Amino acid sequence: MRDDRLYLSNVLECIQRIESYTQDGKETFLQTTIIQDAVIRNFEIIGEATKRLSPEIRAAYSDVPWQQIAGFRDVLIHDYLKVNLNRVWGVIEQVYPNLR
């Protein structure tokens, strides 16, 4: 449980960073590579942290799409040439606000 708290705290911190980096909206995100890089890196960290959560935490919060979050991280890491920034923005808008 101790590690779970650390990982969940890390996820929350990354979500807050993404929110901060993207506060100027989609167009700024799409036009600014340093923001894109920062956001993608934080998504990678979130995905890795969720992979390390205990089965008990995953079960307790079964409404969270753990596999999709981890899968998104895998796409960002392994299929980075295929990353669609509009898809990344969609995840920012639709998925991560609900994780809080």
Give one word for 25, left, alpha or beta, with left for phi > 0 and alpha for psi -120 to 50.
left
Identified catalytic residue from 41, 58, 78, 87 = 78
Q: Would residue 73 show up in a list of annotated catalytic residues for this protein? A: yes
Identified catalytic residue from 52, 58, 73, 87 = 73
Beta-carbon count within 10 A of 22 CB: 21
Q: What single-letter DSSP state applies at residue 79?
A: S
Q: CB under 8 Å to 51, separation ≥6 — which residues?
A: 70, 73
Q: Would residue 2 show up in a list of annotated catalytic residues for this protein? A: no
> What positions carry a catalytic annotation?
73, 78
